[in-house]
Amino acid sequence: MQVMGDYYSAIQLRHDQWTTLREVTEALASARKPKREAALVTNVRALFDLLGPIETYWAFPGVQAFEQIRRQFEHGNYADVAFSVQRICRALSTGAYRRRHVPLDRDSADADEHEDEVIQPPEARALAKPYFEVLVVDNVNEHQERWLHSNFKKMRRPEDPFHYETVVVPSLQDALIGILFNYNIQAIVVRPGLKFDSKMEMSLLTRYLDWAGGTEGIEAVRSLDHGPALCRLVANVRPELDAYLVTDRSVEEIAGHDLGICRRVFYNQEDFMELHLNILRGVQARYKTPFFTALVEYSKQPTGVFHAMPISRGKSVSRSHWIQDMGAFYGSNIFLAETSATSGGLDSLLEPHGPIKQAQEQASRAFGSKQTFFATNGTSTCNKIVVQALVRPGDIVLVDRDCHKSHHYGLVLAGAQVVYLDSYPLNEYSMYGAVPLREVKHMLLHLKAQGKLDRVRMLLLTNCTFDGIVYNVERVMEECLAIKPDLIFLWDEAWFAFARFSPLYRQRTAMNAANVLRERLRSDTHARAWEEQQKQLKDASEEEWLNTRLLPPPDARVRTYATQSTHKTLTSLRQGSMIHVNDQDFKGEVEVSFHEAYMTHTSTSPNYQIIASLDVGRRQVELEGFEFVHRQVEAAMAMRRAIMTHPRLSKYFRILTAADMIPSKHRESGLESYYDPERGWSDVWDSLVHDEFVLDPTRVTLAVGGTGWDGDTFKTQILMDKYGIQINKTSRNTVLFMTNIGTTRSSVAYLIEVLVEIATDLDELLDDASMMEKRGFEKRVSNLMHDLPPLPDFSRFHDAFRSAPETPEGDIRSAFFLSYEENNCDYLELDGSIKAAMESGQEVVSASFIIPYPPGFPILVPGQVVSQEILAFMRALDVSEIHGYRADLGLRVFTEEALKQQAKANQARLKLNAARHKIF
Ligand SMILES: Cc1ncc(COP(=O)(O)O)c(C=O)c1O
Distance 380 CA to ligand 1 centre (A): 6
d(CA 181, CA 204): 10
List C-alpha distances in Å: 212 to 178, 226, 507, 688, 894: 11, 14, 12, 13, 57
Per-residue pLDDT at 755 exceeds 90: yes
Closest ligand 1 atom, residue 382 Cα: 11
β-sheet bridge partners, residue 375: 577
d(CA 10, CA 14): 6
Closest ligand 1 atom, residue 575 Cα: 10
> Once rounded to an integer, what is the mean pLDDT over residues 413-427?
96
Query: Which H, E and C letters describe 606-662, residue by residue?
Result: CCHHHHHHHHHHHHHHHHHHHHHHHHHHHHHHHHHHHHHHCCCHHHCCEECCHHHHC
What are 818-836's pLDDT values in tens digits? 999 999 999 999 878 898 8
User: Measured on CA atoms in the order 464, 468, 474, 476, is the torsion positive or negative?
Assistant: negative
Task: Supply the DSSP symbol for 339.
Answer: -
- Cα end-to-end distance, the chain, whole Å: 80
705 contacts: CB under 8 Å, gap ≥ 6: 732, 733, 734, 781, 784, 785
Per-residue pLDDT at 116 exceeds 70: no
Closest ligand 1 atom, residue 383 Cα: 4
Give 774's pLDDT tier (boundaries 50, 70, 90). Answer: very high
Task: Check: CB of residue 418 under 8 Å from CB of residue 809.
Answer: yes
Distance 417 CA to ligand 1 centre (A): 23
- pLDDT the model gives residue 257: 79
189-193, 314-318, 381-385: least confident range? 314-318
Per-residue pLDDT at 270 exceeds 90: no
Distance 493 CA to ligand 1 centre (A): 9
- pLDDT the model gives residue 5: 63
126-130, 379-383, 523-527: least confident range? 126-130
Closest ligand 1 atom, residue 381 Cα: 11
Which of the listed residues 383, 404, 614 should we mutate to test ligand 1's pocket, taking the one with most ligand atoms within 8 A of CB? 404
Closest ligand 1 atom, residue 465 Cα: 1
Distance 146 CA to ligand 1 centre (A): 53
> Once rounded to an integer, what is the mean pLDDT over residues 24-40?
93
d(CA 252, CA 159): 37
Rounded mean pLDDT of the chain? 91
What are 281-297's pLDDT values in tens digits? 999 999 999 999 999 98
Q: Mutual orientation of helices 34-55 and 63-74 as an angle, nearest 10°?
A: 160
3-state class (DSSP) for residue 569:
helix
Residue 781 corresponds to which amino acid?
Answer: V
β-sheet bridge partners, residue 738: 699
Per-residue pLDDT at 345 exceeds 70: no
Distance 591 CA to ligand 1 centre (A): 24
> Once rounded to an integer, what is the mean pLDDT over residues 694-720?
93
Task: Supply the DSSP symbol for 92.
Answer: H
> Once rounded to an integer, what is the mean pLDDT over residues 293-309?
76
Q: Which residues form the pocket of ligand 1, taking CB atoms under 6 Å from any ligand atom? A: 378-380, 404, 406, 462, 466, 492, 494, 565, 577
Radius of gyration of the chain (CA): 31
Distance 410 CA to ligand 1 centre (A): 13
Give 919's pLDDT tier (boundaries 50, 70, 90). Answer: low
Query: Which H, E and C letters describe 683-725, residue by residue?
Result: CCHHHHHHCCEEECCCEEEEECHHHCCCHHHHHHHHHHHHHCC
Distance 440 CA to ligand 1 centre (A): 23
Ligand 1 atom 7, closest CA: 379
Distance 496 CA to ligand 1 centre (A): 11
Instruction: Return the closest-CA partner of residue 390 out of 463, 474, 481, 486.
Output: 486
Closest ligand 1 atom, residue 568 Cα: 10
3-state class (DSSP) for residue 95:
coil
Closest ligand 1 atom, residue 567 Cα: 10
Per-residue pLDDT at 342 exceeds 70: no
Which of the listed residues 406, 736, 883 should we mutate to test ligand 1's pocket, taking the one with most ligand atoms within 8 A of CB? 406
- pLDDT the model gives residue 107: 73
Distance 273 CA to ligand 1 centre (A): 48
- pLDDT the model gives residue 1: 43
61 upstream amide cis, omega within 30 of 0? yes
Distance 886 CA to ligand 1 centre (A): 25
d(CA 694, CA 879): 29
Give 2's pLDDT tier (boundaries 50, 70, 90). Answer: very low
Which of the listed residues 376, 377, 380 should we mutate to test ligand 1's pocket, taking the one with most ligand atoms within 8 A of CB? 380
Which of the listed residues 495, 565, 575, 738 should we mutate to test ligand 1's pocket, taking the one with most ligand atoms within 8 A of CB? 565
> Once rounded to an integer, what is the mean pLDDT over residues 3-7?
63
135-144, 226-235, 377-386, 906-915: least confident range? 906-915
Distance 379 CA to ligand 1 centre (A): 5
Give 120's pLDDT tier (boundaries 50, 70, 90). Answer: low
d(CA 663, CA 686): 17
